Homo-oligomer: A and B are copies of this chain.
Amino acid sequence: MEKLIGAAVVGQSGGPTSAINATLAGVIRGAFPEKGKTITALYGMRNGIEGLISKNLVDLFERFKGSECEREQMLSELEHTPAAALGSCRKKLPVPEKDDQFYKSLIDVFKEYNIRYFFYIGGNDSMDTVAKLSAYLKNSDYDMRVIGLPKTIDNDLPGTDHTPGFGSAAKFIAATMQEIIRDCAVYTIPAVTIVEIMGRDAGWLTASAALPRIICGVAPDFVYLPERSFDMEKFLIDVKSELAKKPNVVIAVSEGLRFADGKYVGEGTQSGVVDVFGHKYLAGTGKALEHTVKREIGCKVRSIELNLPQRCAAHITSLTDLTESAEVGQFGFNAAIEGNTGSIISIIRNNDSKYSVSYKVLDISEAANKTRHVPDEFINERGNNVTDECLEYIKPLILGEPNIRYEGGIPYNFVI
């Protein structure tokens, strides 16, 4: 493989996570040893590919200059900062066969800055960008290596044991569920609490709500994932039978629950807005179920939407997740230097008795535009909970607490 000398550019795309900046830190960590050798400059795109096309770039070698010790301090602070430090976007690239103007403009920018390495940190939709761009480049005469670095709290990318960002979101959800269950247990009046959790198509985050069960015996009474059709009658039977046993019933539900006819449970309370990828915007499953329980059972009922903190509560993150997210970035950078392109980095869980991982380069086609669901054997027969096997799979991903620097009583954030 011929040595390709030039600039590198890195961007973040899609919904932010608590760990997306750790992957950026990993890319920066990988680039510095190559500075002035293979890599002539390291640029960050402001707001993903939208910033790239408008040449809104930030010089990351300059931003992270200093001694190795100073740089490590900055990178550690960046790792503990939530949301995409470079900004994000939700730009969907056109199909090149139909409209190649955008690609031609991009190549003009690449040429202007002599960009030869392209790293894109994102989820399912961002991997679509990586797939289209690398496919387009294969048929062009511009030599550039394109690497997708996975990121999604949803854990729904195929070809990887789990996704960077998932462990921290799962930890936040598990810790918060324990707290909510303790809070709800203080009264003796019959009450139902419904906690709505992110995950439009895949139930991994909702499953995480049950984690405290295998850790300390505390758990939601029911867990409903989008992998199973939701049956309102069965749900009401579940809730009533549990209320007959004890006063406080706590339920975890996915925002993406659908009835057998494909209609979302929360659809009735929604405005029907659709994002650029054609996904319906959902936020009403918990509220819809709250109203149904109120009407059909009549007890005290509350719904809680965990909302944005699931993807940005950087004050409680998984050290395992942050470490792996950073390693994915650094591994991906080195994979590009070694000649890979049109690739995504995946995490392999080693077959050891103690949890450990390794990283692998996969063809981007194995990940883009596909969704990895919670498998059948991880869901109980009645479809109202997850199995211990499912929780044992998730548990190692939430382990470890990073040493977060506080300033004035709140976590210190690093701004690029």
Name A315's contact: one of B88, B179, B399 (CB within 8 Å): B179
Rounded to whole Å, the gap between the CB of A122 and the closest CB of chain B is 12
* A308 and B315 form a contact (CB under 8 A): no
Rounded to whole Å, the gap between the CB of A30 and the closest CB of chain B is 23
Expressed in whole angstroms, the Cα–Cα distance for A253 and B183 within the complex equals 23
A400 interfacial by beta-carbon distance below 8 Å? yes
Name A215's contact: one of B218, B305, B314, B410 (CB within 8 Å): B410
CB-defined contacts of A409 to chain B, threshold 8 Å: 171, 174-175, 211, 215, 318, 395, 398-400
CB-defined contacts of A358 to chain B, threshold 8 Å: none
Residue of A82, A186, A307, A312 most packed against chain B (CB within 10 A): A186
CB-defined contacts of A174 to chain B, threshold 8 Å: 409-410
* A407 and B216 form a contact (CB under 8 A): yes
* A88 and B410 form a contact (CB under 8 A): no
CB-defined contacts of A399 to chain B, threshold 8 Å: 408-409
* A309 and B179 form a contact (CB under 8 A): yes
- This protein's copies in its complex: 2
Given A81-B182, A408-B215, A410-B178, A188–B50 Cβ distance below 8 Å?
yes
Expressed in whole angstroms, the Cα–Cα distance for A410 and B90 within the complex equals 33
Given A304-B308, A308-B304, A313-B176, A410–B212 Cβ distance below 8 Å?
yes
Complex interface bits, A64-92 against B, C-beta within 8 A gives 1, otherwise 0 = 00000000000000000111100111100
Nearest B residue to A269, CB-CB:
B287
Complex interface bits, A305-336 against B, C-beta within 8 A gives 1, otherwise 0 = 10111011111101000000000000000000
A109 interfacial by beta-carbon distance below 8 Å? no
Residue of A174, A183, A211 most packed against chain B (CB within 10 A): A183
Nearest B residue to A83, CB-CB:
B182
Complex interface bits, A234-271 against B, C-beta within 8 A gives 1, otherwise 0 = 00000000000000000000000000000000000001
CB-defined contacts of A106 to chain B, threshold 8 Å: none
Complex interface bits, A144-185 against B, C-beta within 8 A gives 1, otherwise 0 = 000000000000000000000000000100111011101111
A411 interfacial by beta-carbon distance below 8 Å? yes
A16 interfacial by beta-carbon distance below 8 Å? yes
Name A401's contact: one of B179, B400, B406, B412 (CB within 8 Å): B406
Nearest B residue to A18, CB-CB:
B179
CB-defined contacts of A16 to chain B, threshold 8 Å: 182-183, 186
Expressed in whole angstroms, the Cα–Cα distance for A178 and B312 within the complex equals 10
Rounded to whole Å, the gap between the CB of A180 and the closest CB of chain B is 6
CB-defined contacts of A183 to chain B, threshold 8 Å: 16, 82-83, 308, 311-312
A229 interfacial by beta-carbon distance below 8 Å? no
CB-defined contacts of A407 to chain B, threshold 8 Å: 215-216
Sort A-B residue pairs by CB-CB distance and give the 6 closest, nearest first: A215-B408, A398-B409, A83-B182, A88-B186, A183-B312, A179-B312
Q: Could you show 19 A-B contacts with beta carbons less than 8 Å apart?
A: A47-B187, A87-B185, A87-B186, A88-B186, A89-B188, A175-B410, A179-B313, A179-B314, A182-B312, A182-B413, A214-B408, A215-B407, A215-B410, A216-B413, A304-B308, A398-B408, A398-B410, A400-B409, A401-B406
Beyond contacts A84-B186, A182-B413, A309-B309: 7 other A-B pairs, Cβ-Cβ < 8 A, are A16-B186, A83-B186, A175-B411, A176-B309, A178-B410, A179-B312, A216-B408
